[in-house]
Amino acid sequence: MTLVRAVIVAWLAALIALTPGASRAEGVELAQLSTQRGEDGLELSFNTRFELSRAAEDALNKGVPLYFVAEFAVLRSRWYWRDARIARGERTWRLEWKPLWRQYRVSTGGLEQSFATLDEALSVLRGQSAWRIAEPKDIEDSGNYYLEFSYRLDVSQLPRPMQIGLQAGFALSVEQKRGFNADFSLKP
Amino acid sequence: MTRTARWGWVITLVTLTGVAGVLAFLLSVGTTSERGFFERHYHWLFWVNVAVAAVLTLVILVAAVRLVLRVRRGRFGSRLLLKLAGIFALVGVVPGLMIYAVSYQFVNRSIETWFDVKLASALEAGLNLGRGTLDAMVADLGNRTRDAAEQFADAGAPQLLALERLRDKLGVRTVALVGGNGQILLESGGDTSQLTPDRPSRTLLDKARGSVVTQLEGLEDEAQALQGGARIRALALLPNTELRLGLGERYLMVVQRVPAAILGNALAVQAANSEYQQRALERVGLRRMYLGTLTLVLILAVFAALLLAVTLGNQLARPLLMLADGVRQVAQGDLSVRPVLASRDELGGLTRSFADMTGQLADAREQVQRSVAELESARTHLQTILDNLTAGVLVFDAAGALETVNPGATRILRLPLSAYVGRPLTEVPGLAEFAAALDARFEQHLGPDPAERDMDRELWQESFELQLDPQQEPLSLLVRGAPLPQRARLVVFDDISEVVSAQRSAAWSEVARRLAHEIKNPLTPIQLSAERLQHKLEAKLEGTDQAMLVRSVATIVNQVQAMKQLVNEFRDYARLPSAQLKPLDLNALIQEVLSLYAEPQENGRLVADLGPNLPCIKGDASQLRQVIHNLVQNALDAVQDRADGRVVVRSSLSLTDAGKPRAVRLHILDNGHGFAEKVLKRAFEPYVTTKSKGTGLGLAVVKKIADEHAARVSLRNLHPTVDAGSPPDDGREAAVIGAQVSLSFSNLAPAAEPGASSAKT
């Protein structure tokens, strides 16, 4: 009996240890994150607040493109097995300085936009509204759903030697895990 | 798999992992593919390499500590191993360190030389140049558009023809009149591939309301821009001269393509600049990467070299250690078979030769030991023979000192001769004369020239009479002498007292036989003559004469009878018939004989003490009867003059250790005077007697009969305190309280013979 109890305790401890933290942030503040269930599925809106560090801005001005990635995953809790993933997706913004035109260029999914100033360019990739993240059929059955969301500056897409000698200031990320209400709005 | 082999495998695996890791790492650094497998696992690889390096460090530390501990403890061979490992490590590590130092400098310098201030500024200048050129083109088009718009306004209503003319004049791609909302009113030139001409954006129109507006377009896609997609658009408000309402504002729009050559150059400069700037940014990382890789390779190489050093050192030292160990063990006398190295090189050959040598040594030693053992056993055998020899053996060395004495000599001479080994025989008390005689005999037989010796001639034999103890009979010794090599001398002697006694006995019996014969012959005529004298003369004589005659004749007859008896006894002694041996019961015989002595038995002077259950012996009843008779009579004679005289006839059985009967014994004891020493020695010779009246043949006959029966006769005097038979230990004669005669019959009849009891006589 003692052995069985010990095993159960160990399993629970492992489960708790493996459960990702509800929210983690480094240099980025998630100002707003909301979902809305519409006619054609679930839509996500988010907005972040962050400033590029001197090092990152320097790299950008020297022609290094920066990648910002927003990732989400909708999961349904299952007590008897690993949680089922209903939907997942990511969106990548590429921010680049074109010295010849003196323009900041933001490209995402084939769409390119040029901006004269960095703030304008950053305002585009700081947030996203009405991002459809799930089909209506995916979220029909009533279950215990939750959302995993992260937004970060993707360091792994920097040139490799830069990754090795990476200075501080490139660490920009935020992660959140929120449960859904019955009407698929996010719980606070 | 042995422990060493397992270790070897582990080390090899670790080293291989390290090498593979380094290769993968190098591959990841050197590869140009954007995001390959190794790039994605760069960190992972790095840490694997670090882990391998750590494991190797641990292994080497453990090995080094073990080695040092062995050296400290003075373990055999550890110094050689340390030296070899040190040499190999030096050979491996020093070049590695040199290459590392050079490469480090090289990498550092070459990375630094990539980045040049002049190059940076040149690239910057090129970029600025391109930017300036484009700016100039844009500004120029704007100015010309404004001028054209003013002219156009002066010319009045614009016509298509006028637009065409303007387009030619300006040398641009498109000239168009645009309405206030951005709609194209008139157009000259333009893109034929587009159905709807591109309209200016609202913001652009708003800006153009103030003055002329210029804008670069089509730069999003650089490939397309190079093929003519890049263009400059200028928009200028046409001054409204005819204040016609409803007509609204009109704009003149001019679009000009950017020349591909200029754009291409500018883009190339931009790309190069960007790349250069990136590289400058990556400089720290690059250097760190290269140097890190270099250091890692160095560490792994050094560790591999150290491990190899230890392994090679072991490999090289093993046969040497084996040999040295073998030599040490051989020196300690262990010649067991040595292990042989299986390799075919010279060291392996050396170990094989060593093993052969050890084997031969072992064989030789074994042979030596065997021959020594054989010698020893032969010597022991000889010694045993010598010790058990009844004859006495003496060996003298060249100086005349006693060298070897055997127990036989000690026994015969009754002197502790072994105590005089190494000293001349003359020092032994009582033997001075004997020694002198021996010397004389040797000198006598020694040839004058030792070279011409004749061994046979030098052998001599002589009998000596040696009087050691004045109270005892002299010893009769038969002495033989022989010279030995190295001027040593061998003397062998036998006690022939018995032989002499036997010879004397034989001589006596011969004398007795002849004397008896010679004497007996005249006795009968003498007796007859005497009786006849009496017969004839008795009647004729009277008185005293007759009485004298009768008395004299009686005397003669008696004396003749006595003489006859004497002669018969002599004859009997000389001519005893040979014994007829038959099984007989000794007790029955004794009782039969004792029945003749009824009177002494009745008054207690003669007592029989017979042992029960005696086995039958083989003997001649009549002869044994005579023996018992003689002995009992002797004993009774000995105690005749004593009031408390007492004779005991005793029979007993002596058993072997296994409990089987060995001999039947007959003892006749008396408490008389005992035997005189002189008599004791020669009691069995004829005519030796203690009695005043007797022929002295009794014991001689007993001895003879006993000899016939293979029985042993012994005489001894009985002494009071000590056990019967054991000689007085202090040499002083104890008081004699009696004598004992013992007969021991060992010739027993078969035990279960049915005729044993019927053979009683």
A62 touches chain B (CB under 8 A): yes
Going by C-beta distance under 8 Å and a sequence separation of 6 or more, which residues neighbour residue B35? none
- The per-residue pLDDT for B641 is 79
CB B745 within 8 A of CB B665: yes
In chain A, domain spans: 24-179
Is the CB of B131 less than 8 angstroms away from the CB of A102?
A: yes
As a whole number of angstroms, the distance between CA B538 and CA B268 comes to 201
* b/e code B500-512 from CB counts within 10 Å (16+ = b): ebeeebeebbeeb
Is the CB of A100 less than 8 angstroms away from the CB of B127?
A: yes
As a whole number of angstroms, the distance between CA B391 and CA B407 comes to 9
Phi, psi of B115 (to 5 degrees): -100, 110
Q: Which CATH number fits domain B131-258: 3.30.1380.10, 3.30.450.20, 1.10.10.60, 3.40.50.1170?
A: 3.30.450.20
| Residue range B573-630, pLDDT digits in tens | 666 666 778 888 888 888 888 888 888 888 888 888 888 888 888 888 888 888 888 8
Q: Distance (Å) from the C-alpha of residue B220 to the closest C-alpha of chain A?
A: 7
Identity at B751, one-letter amino acid code:
A
Structure tokens at B542: 């009277």
Q: Distance (Å) from the C-alpha of residue B196 to the closest C-alpha of chain A?
A: 22
CB B634 within 8 A of CB B645: no
Is the CB of A163 less than 8 angstroms away from the CB of B288?
A: no
**Mean pLDDT computed over B151-165:** 71
Q: Which of A4, A143, A1, A159 is nearest to A83 (CA)?
A: A143
| Averaged pLDDT of chain B | 78
B120 touches chain A (CB under 8 A): no
In chain B, domain spans: 3-114+277-329, 131-258, 389-495, 501-574, 582-758
Homologous superfamily (CATH) for B389-495 = PAS domain (3.30.450.20)
B270 touches chain A (CB under 8 A): yes
Is the CB of A114 less than 8 angstroms away from the CB of B289?
A: no
The kind and range of the H/E element at A29 are strand A29-38
A78 touches chain B (CB under 8 A): no
CB B584 within 8 A of CB B712: no
Indicate if the pLDDT at residue B380 is higher than 90.
yes
Phi, psi of B538 (to 5 degrees): -60, -40
- Which of B107, B201, B221, B274 would best serve as a mutation to test chain A binding (most A beta carbons within 10 A)? B274
| Averaged pLDDT of chain A | 81
B670 SS3 class: strand
Q: Distance (Å) from the C-alpha of residue A104 to the closest C-alpha of chain B?
A: 11
Q: Which of B431, B438, B397 is nearest to B416 (CA)?
A: B431
> DSSP secondary structure string, B232-266?
EEEEEEEP--S--TTT--EEEEEEEEPPHHHHHHH
Q: Distance (Å) from the C-alpha of residue A145 to the closest C-alpha of chain B?
A: 32
As a whole number of angstroms, the distance between CA B493 and CA B391 comes to 6
| Residue range B491-510, pLDDT digits in tens | 888 888 878 878 887 887 78
Per 3-state DSSP, what percentage of chain B is helix, strand, and coil (rounded to 5)? 60, 15, 25
- The per-residue pLDDT for B51 is 82
| Residue range A115-148, pLDDT digits in tens | 889 998 999 888 888 888 888 877 776 678 888 9
Q: Which of B60, B53, B54, B49 is nearest to B88 (CA)?
A: B60
Please indicate whether the domains covering B389-495 and B582-758 agree at the CATH topology level.
no
Q: Distance (Å) from the C-alpha of residue B32 to the closest C-alpha of chain A?
A: 10
B134 touches chain A (CB under 8 A): yes
As a whole number of angstroms, the distance between CA B488 and CA B397 comes to 4
Indicate if the pLDDT at residue B725 is higher than 50.
no
**Mean pLDDT computed over B47-70:** 82
Residue length of chain A: 188
**How much of chain B, in percent, has pLDDT values that exceed 70?**
85
Phi, psi of B586 (to 5 degrees): -65, -40
As a whole number of angstroms, the distance between CA B584 and CA B686 comes to 29
| Residue range B297-339, pLDDT digits in tens | 787 777 777 777 777 777 777 777 778 888 888 888 887 766 7
Q: Distance (Å) from the C-alpha of residue B278 to the closest C-alpha of chain A?
A: 6
Radius of gyration of chain B (CA): 75
B39 touches chain A (CB under 8 A): yes
Indicate if the pLDDT at residue A18 is higher than 70.
no
Is the CB of B220 less than 8 angstroms away from the CB of A114?
A: yes
CB B479 within 8 A of CB B463: yes
Q: Maximum CA pair distance of chain A?
A: 75
Q: Distance (Å) from the C-alpha of residue A23 to the closest C-alpha of chain B?
A: 26
- The per-residue pLDDT for A165 is 58
CB B613 within 8 A of CB B653: yes
Indicate if the pLDDT at residue B759 is higher than 50.
no
Is the CB of B266 less than 8 angstroms away from the CB of A165?
A: no
Structure tokens at A62: 């020297």
Q: Yes or no: is domain B582-758 CATH 3.30.565.10?
A: yes
Instruction: Please name the member of A102, A114, A159 whose beta carbon is closest to the beta carbon of B282.
Output: A159
The complex's ipTM works out to: 0.71
For residue A164, which residues of chain B lie inside 8 Å, CB to CB?
42, 285-286, 288-289, 292
For residue A162, which residues of chain B lie inside 8 Å, CB to CB?
278, 281-282, 285
For residue B131, which residues of chain A lie inside 8 Å, CB to CB?
99-100, 102
- The per-residue pLDDT for B449 is 57
Whether the model clears a pTM of 0.80, i.e. scores above it, the answer is: no
Instruction: Please name the member of B130, B131, B277 whose beta carbon is closest to the beta carbon of A62.
Output: B277
Identify the sign of the CA torsion A120, A123, A128, A130. negative
For residue A62, which residues of chain B lie inside 8 Å, CB to CB?
274, 277-278, 280-281
**Mean pLDDT computed over A83-100:** 88
As a whole number of angstroms, the distance between CA A109 and CA B344 comes to 72
- Between the two ends of chain B, the Cα-to-Cα distance in Å is 94
Q: Which of A145, A149, A139 is nearest to A22 (CA)?
A: A149
Q: Distance (Å) from the C-alpha of residue A18 to the closest C-alpha of chain B?
A: 21
Q: Distance (Å) from the C-alpha of residue A58 to the closest C-alpha of chain B?
A: 9
Q: Distance (Å) from the C-alpha of residue A106 to the closest C-alpha of chain B?
A: 10
Structure tokens at B352: 């094989």
Identify the sign of the CA torsion B717, B722, B726, B731. negative
Q: Calculate the CA B35 to chain-centre distance.
A: 68
Indicate if the pLDDT at residue B367 is higher than 80.
yes
A159 touches chain B (CB under 8 A): yes
**Mean pLDDT computed over B183-194:** 69
For residue A63, which residues of chain B lie inside 8 Å, CB to CB?
273-275, 277-278
**Mean pLDDT computed over A92-97:** 91
Instruction: Please name the member of B270, B285, B289 whose beta carbon is closest to the beta carbon of A100.
Output: B270
- Which of A94, A100, A107 would best serve as a mutation to test chain B binding (most B beta carbons within 10 A)? A100
Indicate if the pLDDT at residue B204 is higher than 90.
no
- The per-residue pLDDT for B690 is 63
Q: How confident is the model at residue B657 (pLDDT cuts 50, 70, 90)?
A: confident
Q: Which of B562, B511, B575, B605 is nearest to B708 (CA)?
A: B575
Strand partners, B214: B234
- The per-residue pLDDT for B374 is 95
- The per-residue pLDDT for B553 is 86
Chain A to chain B Cβ contacts (< 8 Å): 68
Is the CB of B285 less than 8 angstroms away from the CB of A62?
A: no
Phi, psi of B270 (to 5 degrees): -60, -45
Is the CB of A165 less than 8 angstroms away from the CB of B282?
A: yes
Is the CB of A62 less than 8 angstroms away from the CB of B216?
A: no
Going by C-beta distance under 8 Å and a sequence separation of 6 or more, which residues neighbour residue A2? none
Instruction: Kindly give the pairing relationship between strand B712-718 and strand B738-745.
Output: antiparallel
As a whole number of angstroms, the distance between CA B648 and CA B666 comes to 10
- Which of A53, A160, A166, A170 would best serve as a mutation to test chain B binding (most B beta carbons within 10 A)? A160
Provide the phi-psi class of B613: left if phi over 0, else alpha when psi is between -120 and 50, else beta.
left
- Which of A103, A164, A167, A170 would best serve as a mutation to test chain B binding (most B beta carbons within 10 A)? A164
Per 3-state DSSP, what percentage of chain A is helix, strand, and coil (rounded to 5)? 25, 45, 30
Q: Which of the pair, B345 or B106, is modelled with greater confidence?
A: B106
CB B649 within 8 A of CB B632: yes
In chain A, DSSP finds a helix count (H) and a strand count (E) of 4, 10
B659 SS3 class: coil
Indicate if the pLDDT at residue B689 is higher than 70.
no
CA nearest A111 in B: which residue?
Answer: B220
Report the 10 Å Cβ neighbour count for B310.
23
Phi, psi of B184 (to 5 degrees): -80, 120
Determine whether B179 is exposed, middle or buried from the number of CB atoms within 10 Å of its CB (0-12, 13-18, 19+): middle
- The per-residue pLDDT for B728 is 44
Determine whether B605 is exposed, middle or buried from the number of CB atoms within 10 Å of its CB (0-12, 13-18, 19+): buried
B278 touches chain A (CB under 8 A): yes
Q: Distance (Å) from the C-alpha of residue B35 to the closest C-alpha of chain A?
A: 9
DSSP, res B419: G
Q: How confident is the model at residue A10 (pLDDT cuts 50, 70, 90)?
A: low
Q: Which of the pair, A8 or B319, is modelled with greater confidence?
A: B319
Q: Calculate the CA B328 to chain-centre distance.
A: 14
| Residue range B256-312, pLDDT digits in tens | 888 888 888 888 888 888 888 888 877 777 777 778 778 877 877 777 777 777 777
Radius of gyration of chain A (CA): 20
Q: Which of the pair, B565 or A11, is modelled with greater confidence?
A: B565
As a whole number of angstroms, the distance between CA B238 and CA B178 comes to 10
B131 touches chain A (CB under 8 A): yes
As a whole number of angstroms, the distance between CA B126 and CA B120 comes to 10
Give the CA distances from residue B97 to residues B59, B60, B89, B91, in Å, rounded to whole numbers and listed in that order.
21, 18, 12, 11
**Mean pLDDT computed over B225-251:** 72
CA nearest B126 in A: which residue?
Answer: A100
Instruction: Please name the member of A62, A105, A165 whose beta carbon is closest to the beta carbon of B285.
Output: A165
